Amino acid sequence: MPEITFRDGNRGTVAALGQRGAGDLTTVRRRTMKRTTGAVAITSAAALLLSACGGESGEENTDSGANAEESSGDDAAAEEEGGVDSAATSEGAPAASDGTSLVIWADDLRAAALEDVAATFEEETGVPVTLQVVANENLREQFKDSVGAGAGPDIAVGAHDWLGELVQNNVVAPVQLASDLSGQFNPDSIEAFTYEGQTYGVPYSVESLALIRNTELAPDEPETMEALVETGAQLVSDGEAELVMAQQLGQEGDAYNMYPYLAAYGGGIFPLLEEGGFDASEVIIDSEETVQGGEKIAWLAEQEALTVNLDGSNTIPQFVEGKTAYLVSGPWAIEQSTEAGINYAISPIPDFEDGGETTPFLGVNGFYVSAESQNPQIAQTFVQEYVSRADVQVSLYEAGDRPPALTEAYEQVAADDEDIESWGQAAEGGTPMPNIPQMNAVWGPLGKATADIVSGNDAAERLGTAQSEVEGAL
Amino acid sequence: MLSVGILALSAQQAIEAGSWLIVIVVAFIAMSILVVYSTRRMIPAKYLLPGLILLLLFQMWPIIYTAATAFTNYGDGHTLSKEEAIVAIQGQSVRQDPDAPRYGMSVAVPEGAAIETGELSLLLTVAPAEDGSELEEGAEEGGEAELGENITDDGTRLFVGTEEGLQPLSADGVEVLGNGTIGTAPGYRVLNLMEANERAQDVQDFAVPVGEEGEAAVKPATTSQAFVGRPTITYDEDADVMTTAEGKRYVAQEGNFVPEDGVGAALPAGWTENVGFDNFRTIFTDPTFRTGFLKIFLWNLAFPLLSVGSTFILGMLLALLFNDPRLKGKGFYRSLLILPYALPIFVTGLVWAAMFNAQFGLINEVTGLSINWLGDPWAARFALLLTNLWLGFPYMFLICTGALQSVPSDVKEAASVDGAGPVRTLVSVTMPLLLVAVGPLLVASFAFNFNNFTLIYLVTGGGPFDSGNSLVGNTDLLINFAYRLALESGTPNIGLASAVSIVIFLLVGTISYLGFRQSAALEEVN
C-alpha cells in the first residue's frame, strides 16, 4: 500500500520511500510547469497573483532585513521583528532564500520546536529567521525541486536517507564540521549524513525499531524472540490477546520492518564498508547469512507472529486496542499508545536463541544546507554552531520525542526520560539506513520477497529472485 | 490594456530570472493582443484569442514539453546541466584536512574601501591550544608583519588570508573577540554579519591557497570559522576527464562521469542530455516491459469495459426504478445514492482497501468468507471491479435519470397502445433513446477508467505481484505499470516516463477515436 495513511512524518524515512518520493515527483513537476506557465499567462489572474505575492513577500523580507541590519547586535529589534511568527503559518509558495533572512523549511512539529532556537539565533546574530512549515510528505520533493529551480530555502530539516538523491542533484552543500565537534555526536548519526566521504548535514535525532510491550499483558521483557512468541501465543490461547505480535508488513512487504531479522546473522542488503557506509557494487540479499535471517522470518510467520494482513493502516491500532502484547515499531507509535492509556515498556527487539542478533535500521534526522543558499555562511553557522548545541538538541527532542544525536544532549535527556534511554538502547548496534540512491531499487523487490516469505514461499529461493531483480535494476 | 501591463510585469520578472524563452513567449502574446485588439478589424479573432492562448499554454505546452522530455535522460541524477554538474562534483569533493587547525575568521575589506566592491581578505586566528605548525609553512614571509609579531598576549596567532596566500598579521592594535574572531584590525574594515552576507557568494568562492603547492586552501566554514581543505577531484577541460586524488580517471558518458576502467560507481552528479529515441527503444525492447505489456494491456482493456458495463447496468436499473412515478420519496433515495460519488476517492479507496483485508477486513468478517482479496490475482481484480462499481454507479445513475426524464412519455404511450409490454417498451423504445444520450458518456467513462491510476494505486497498489517480479503487478493498468517502471524501479527517470505516457496517449487516443466513431454510428441509426 502507498504511504498515505501515516501521520507521522518520520515514517517517511522508511520503506517504500522511493515510491512515495517518485509519486510526488510527477505531481510536483506538473505543478512547477503550471507555475511557470502561470507567470506568463496574460489575462489570467495567476500572473497578477504571482507578481503580487512576489512583491509582497519581497517587501516584507527587505523590511526585516533592513531592520536587522540597522540593529545587528541589537537584541530588542531583532526579537521584535519576529520572522518566526510571520512565517510560521504562511501558505502558498514556500518562502525562498533571498539573502535577507535565513529561511528554514521544516514540518509543523519541528518548526514549532525551532522557534526558540530561531529567536536565540536572531538575538545573537541579528539575522532574521523565517521558519516555513512544509508538509513532511512534500518536503523532500519540494526541497529538491525548488533548489533545482534556484528558489529553495537556506536550510531544510529532513531524514538522512534522502542524502544520496540530494547529492546527485546537487541540492545540498557539504557541511565542514570541525573534527572535535563531529566527535561529540553519536558516530552512527554522523555516518548517516556522510556520503562518499563527505558530510552534508548536522544530525539531531536517531530512531529505530524496537519492541513495545504492553506491560499489563506481558510484564516481563522477553529474553529472546522465541520467548516472545511463546508468551504471545500463550496470551492468544488464553484469550487475553488476539495476536501473537504486531508488526507492519502489508501485501507488498516491507524491507525496512523485516531488516532486523534479515540482518540478524550478518546478512543484509549491501556489505558494510570498514570506513563506514555501504558498498553498493555488491548485493548480498541471497547470501547464506541473509537467507538464515529470511528463514527466521518464515518461522515467525509460521508462529503467526507476522502476517501480510497487517499494514501501515492497521498495525499500531492492534496494539493500541490491546489486541496484542507486542508491537515492533518506532517512536511514531508512542503518541497513540499514550493517548489510549496503554502501559508500555520499550526494549530492543529480542535476539534469537541461536545467537542471531536482530539489527534494526537507524533513521537519522538532521539539518541540510541548500547548495543554492543565498546566505551560505549564515546557514552553515546555524547548522554547525546552533544545531550542535545541547539545549537546541534537547528542545528538538521535546518536540519529537526522539533520542538526540548529540551525545551530551542524549545523556541529559535519557537521565529523565526512560523511554528515550530505551530507544537509545534499541538503536545500539543498528545500522544507518543506506543513504545511497541505489536503495530505491531495493525497497520494492526485497519488500515483496519478505511478504512472499511470510506467505509461505521458500526463503532461500525467494531471496535469490530478489537478488537477481535488484542486481538487474542497479 | 491592463493585460499588456501585466505582461510587461511578468516579462520583467522573467528577464530577472533569466528565462529568455518565457520572455519571447510573453512578447509574442503581447504582440498578438495588440494586433488583434488595437484595430477594429479581426472581429472573430477578438473572441477566439483568449481561448486560443489558454489552449496553447495549458494544453499544447505540457504536451510539447512532455514530448521534448521524452527524448532526454532527465530524471534523478540528471537534473543539472553539464557545467553545473562539473562545478557540483568539484565542490562536493572538497575534504577537510583532518590535522589542520580550525581558524577563527572575520571577513574584511581594506579600510576606506566600499563594502560592495572592496578586495576581500579573511582575518584568521588560531587558538593557542592547537598545533598549527604545519600551516605556517603556507604563511608567506614578507607581509605587513614578520612571523613572530603575529602572536597576541594569550598566544593566539593571527593571519590574513588573501587570494595570494596566507600571511602573518601584526598583533598590534588587533582586537580578538571571545569567539575567536577579529573585531578590529588596523588597516582593515571588518564586516559585520549582514555586511559580509551581502558578499556571501564572493566569500563562498574565496579560497586562500596554502600548503606547498597551494593545492589546499583556507575556506570559510561558517561566518566565524574557516577550515583547511582541498578538492579531491579535479577536472581537465580539454580531455573532459575527472581525476581523483588517487589518480582514478572518470570519463563523460551518457550524462555521468563514469570510471574509465569500468570499476566502481559513477560520480554522483550527472547532467541532462539528449538521448534520441533511447527511451522509446527501451519501452519496446526491455524484456520486463515487453513480457508485462501484453498481460497488462489485456487487463487494461478488461477493467474499463467491465467497469463501465457493470456501473452502467446498475446505474440504469436504479434509474429506471427511481424514475417510476409510483415511487414515493424519490428525492431522498436519489440523494442517498449520490453519496458514494460525493465522497473523495482517496477516502473510499483506502476504506475499501481496509475492508478487503483478509484477516481484519470487514468483508470477510461479515460474510464469513476467507478470501485473500488482495493477495490472490483474480480476487484482487474482482475487488477492484467491486470498488469501482460502488464508486461509479452513482454517476451512471445520474446521467441515466437525466436521459430517462428527457424520453418523451408520448412515445412510451404509443408503444403501449401498439400492444408492447413493459419489457418490450424498455428494450425497443426507451433503451435506444437512452443510449443516444449516454453513449458518448460511456466512451468518456471508458477513457477515464482506462487511466484510472488512483483507484488501482489506492486499493491494490497494482498487486499482488508474481513471485520474483516486483515490476509487473496483476492488477496494474498501463499507467500504473509505467509509473512503477519509470519512477519506482531504481532511479526515477522522467525522460522514460514521458516516453511511456506518450505511448499511452497514443493508445487511449486511438481507442477513444474508435469508440466515438461507434457511438456516432449509433446516433445515425436512430
**Nearest CA to A166 among A143, A199, A133?**
A143
Is pLDDT above 50 for B488?
A: yes
**What phi and psi, each to the nearest 5 degrees, are found at residue B122?**
-105, 125
Question: pLDDT band at residue A68, thresholds of 50, 70 and 90?
Answer: very low
Percentage, residues of chain B above pLDDT 70: 91
- Look at residue B521 in the predicted model and tell me its pLDDT: 66
C-beta atoms of A176 and B9 within 8 A: no
A193 with A390: CB under 8 angstroms? no
CB nearest B491 (choices: A26, A34, A440): A440
Residue-wise pLDDT for B407-457, tens only, equals 888 888 888 888 888 888 888 888 888 888 888 888 888 888 988 899 999
Question: pLDDT band at residue A89, thresholds of 50, 70 and 90?
Answer: very low
Question: Mean of the per-residue pLDDT values for chain B?
Answer: 82
Is pLDDT above 80 for B96?
A: yes
Using an 8 Å CB-CB cutoff, list chain B residues near A374. 200
Range with the poorest average pLDDT among A102-116, A452-466, B38-52, B134-148: B134-148
Using an 8 Å CB-CB cutoff, list chain A residues near B484. 444
Range with the poorest average pLDDT among B14-18, B321-325, B388-392, B408-412: B14-18
Q: Does B80 touch chain A (CB under 8 A)?
A: yes
Q: How far is CA A297 from CA A192, A249, A457, A464, B464, in A?
A: 27, 11, 11, 15, 20
A interface test, pick of B3, B4, B10 with most A CB neighbours within 10 Å: B10
Residue-wise pLDDT for A402-419, tens only, equals 899 999 999 998 888 888
Helices B494-525, B431-450: crossing angle, 10 deg rounding: 170
Of the two residues A118 and A277, the one the predictor is more confident about is A118
Is pLDDT above 80 for B465?
A: yes
Residue-wise pLDDT for A320-329, tens only, equals 998 999 999 9
- Look at residue B285 in the predicted model and tell me its pLDDT: 84
DSSP structural state of residue B140: P
Residue-wise pLDDT for B277-297, tens only, equals 888 888 888 777 777 778 888
- Look at residue B386 in the predicted model and tell me its pLDDT: 92
- Side chain identity at B339, as an amino acid letter? L
Range with the poorest average pLDDT among A267-276, A286-295, B13-22, B344-353: B13-22
Is pLDDT above 50 for A63?
A: no
- Look at residue B363 in the predicted model and tell me its pLDDT: 87
Set of cell numbers at residue A122: 536572531
Using an 8 Å CB-CB cutoff, list chain A residues near B104. none
Residue-wise pLDDT for A177-194, tens only, equals 888 888 899 888 998 998
Question: pLDDT band at residue B123, thresholds of 50, 70 and 90?
Answer: confident
- Look at residue A235 in the predicted model and tell me its pLDDT: 92
Is pLDDT above 90 for B166?
A: no
What mean pLDDT do residues B468-477 have?
Answer: 84
- Look at residue A301 in the predicted model and tell me its pLDDT: 92
pTM, rounded to two decimals: 0.79
Residue-wise pLDDT for B233-278, tens only, equals 888 888 888 888 888 888 888 888 888 887 777 888 888 888 888 8
The residues pairing with A362 across neighbouring beta strands, listed in sequence order, are: A208, A432
Percentage, residues of chain B above pLDDT 90: 6
Report the C-alpha gap between B57 and B94 in whole angstroms: 44
Percentage, residues of chain A above pLDDT 90: 28
Interface of B with A in 126-165 (CB under 8 A): none
What mean pLDDT do residues A428-457 have?
Answer: 88
What mean pLDDT do residues A255-266 have?
Answer: 91
Question: pLDDT band at residue B473, thresholds of 50, 70 and 90?
Answer: confident
Question: pLDDT band at residue A35, thresholds of 50, 70 and 90?
Answer: very low
Pinpoint the alpha helices (H) of B232-329: 278-285, 287-322
- Look at residue B121 in the predicted model and tell me its pLDDT: 85
Is pLDDT above 50 for A53?
A: no
- Look at residue B214 in the predicted model and tell me its pLDDT: 64
- Look at residue B362 in the predicted model and tell me its pLDDT: 87
Report the C-alpha gap between A79 and A58 in whole angstroms: 20
**B301 φ/ψ sector (left φ>0, alpha ψ -120 to 50, else beta):** alpha
Is pLDDT above 60 for A234?
A: yes
Report the C-alpha gap between A321 and A8 in whole angstroms: 19
Of the two residues A129 and B323, the one the predictor is more confident about is A129
CB nearest A377 (choices: B25, B220, B359): B220
The residues pairing with B219 across neighbouring beta strands, listed in sequence order, are: B227
What mean pLDDT do residues A302-312 have?
Answer: 89
**What is the predicted ipTM?**
0.79
Report the C-alpha gap between B261 and B243 in whole angstroms: 12
Measured in angstroms, the CA of A416 and the nearest CA of chain B are apart by: 32
**What phi and psi, each to the nearest 5 degrees, are found at residue A464?**
-60, -45
Is pLDDT above 90 for A273?
A: no
The residues near A176 (Cβ < 8 Å, ≥ 6 apart) are A199, A380, B94, B96, B219, B221, B227, B229
3-state secondary structure labels for all residues of chain A: CCCCCCCCHHHHHCCCHHHHHHHHHHHHHHHHHHHHHHHHCCCCHHHHHHHHHHHHHHHHHHHHHHHHHHCCCCHHHHHHHCHHHHHHCCCCCCCCCCCCCEEEEECHHHHHHHHHHHHHHHHHHCCCEEEEECCHHHHHHHHHHHHHCCCCCCEEEEEHHHHHHHHHCCCECCCCCCHHHHCCECHHHHHHCEECCEECEEEEEEEECEEEEECCCCCCCCCEHHHHHHHHHHHHHCCCCCECCEECCCCCCCHHHHHHHHCCCCCCCCCECCCCCECCCCCCCCCHHHHHHHHHHHHHHHCCCCCCCCCCCCHHHHHHCCCECEEEECHHHHHHHHHCCCCEEEECCCECCCCCCCCCEEEEEEEEEECCCCCHHHHHHHHHHHCCCHHHHHHHHHHHCCCECEHHHHHHHHHHCHHHHHHHHHHCCCEECCCCHHHHHHHHHHHHHHHHHHCCCCHHHHHHHHHHHHHHHC
C-beta atoms of B61 and A37 within 8 A: yes
Report the C-alpha gap between B124 and B164 in whole angstroms: 15
C-beta atoms of A40 and B25 within 8 A: yes
- Look at residue A20 in the predicted model and tell me its pLDDT: 33
A166 with A368: CB under 8 angstroms? yes
Element holding B126 (H helix, E strand): strand B121-126
Work out the number of other CB atoms within 10 angstroms of the CB of residue A120: 17
A227 with A308: CB under 8 angstroms? no
- Look at residue A139 in the predicted model and tell me its pLDDT: 87
Of the two residues A9 and A414, the one the predictor is more confident about is A414
Report the C-alpha gap between A93 and A461 in whole angstroms: 49
- Look at residue B523 in the predicted model and tell me its pLDDT: 60
Altogether, the residues listed in chain B come to a count of 526
- Look at residue B148 in the predicted model and tell me its pLDDT: 65
Question: pLDDT band at residue A66, thresholds of 50, 70 and 90?
Answer: very low
Report the C-alpha gap between B413 and A463 in whole angstroms: 70
